[in-house]
Structure 1
Amino acid sequence: MLIPASGTGQYLANSVKAIRFAARGCTNRPFYHIVVTEVKRDQVDPVIEQVGTYDPIPNEYNEKLCSLNFERIKHWIGNGARVSNPVRELLGLAGFYPIHPRTYMTSWRNRKKLEDEINSQEAEQENDK
């Protein structure tokens, strides 16, 4: 019998729960389910519930697709589930949490890298003249 992708719904009442990524997909094509699971469970063990998905590979419109079930996420957080840092970052971008500081640092680094590339291209053009 296969375990449903949305989860079994079975868990120990007093166990600590976590909302985290469960890696799916294949080599060079990652895909993540955002799941509620017991903290001590392995990533391949059955999950309690799937509350979203995240596709980190940009599509033809340069969009990274994400779907979240905010009602169920609120329910599990209200029941004491911990949220992992990567999921917290994603929820910050979605407006559920404040934006994570790592998001600001990543965008700052990306802007700095782009500025450096533009400056080096301009310097090369001036040297060519």
Structure 2
Amino acid sequence: MPSCTGLKIRLALHGCTNRPFFHIIVTESRFKRNGRHLEQLGSFDPMPNYNNEKLASLNVKRIKYWLGVGATPTNLVSKILGLAGLLPIHPRTYLETRRRREGLLQETAVAESEEARLKEQS
């Protein structure tokens, strides 16, 4: 078994052009992104489906094992694991949610003011 200090839980890119698909893998940090890996722990599909969902499948038992051994997840993997409830929610998730919410509020305010302006003109 490799030394536990350099283990990473990261995403390996698969799929084709304009249609990415990722495998969640355990590998040593010195290996390339799609190079050798020790084990595949799940998959992640970042393209929203018809319900606007991004799908992830996780082998929770093996992820807990590798986290216990000392593997460190990358930022994106820790965000996925945080949303799955295996890790604390990543702080970046809160920031992105806040920005999206503020953007939606601005869009609705602009739409309402535009609607009010059109009513005044008629």
Asked whether the two chains share a fold, i.e. TM above 0.5, the reply is yes
Q: % of aligned pairs identical?
A: 48
Deviation at 1:39, TM superposition (A): 0.5
Q: 5+ unaligned residues in a row in structure 2: which ranges?
A: none
Structure 2 counterpart of 1:113, from 89, 103, 109: 103
Q: Structure 2 CA distance, aligned partners of 1:67 and 1:40?
A: 25
Match of 1:32 in 2: 22
Number of residue pairs matched by the alignment: 119
Q: Structure 2 CA distance, aligned partners of 1:14 and 1:34?
A: 18
Deviation at 1:12, TM superposition (A): 3.2
Superimposed CA distance per residue, residues 70-127 of structure 1 (whole angstroms, 9 cap, x where no aligned partner):
1111111111111111100110000111111111111111110001000001111111
Aligned pairs (5 A) from 1:1-129 = 12-13=2-3, 16-129=6-119
Q: 5+ unaligned residues in a row in structure 1: which ranges?
A: 1-10
Deviation at 1:15, TM superposition (A): 6.0
State the SS of the aligned residue for 1:108: helix
Question: If each structure's helix is expressed as a fraction of its own residues, which one has the higher value?
Answer: 2
TM-score normalised by structure 1 residue count: 0.87
TM-score normalised by structure 2 residue count: 0.91
RMSD: 1.3
Runs of 4+ displaced beyond 3 Å: 11-15
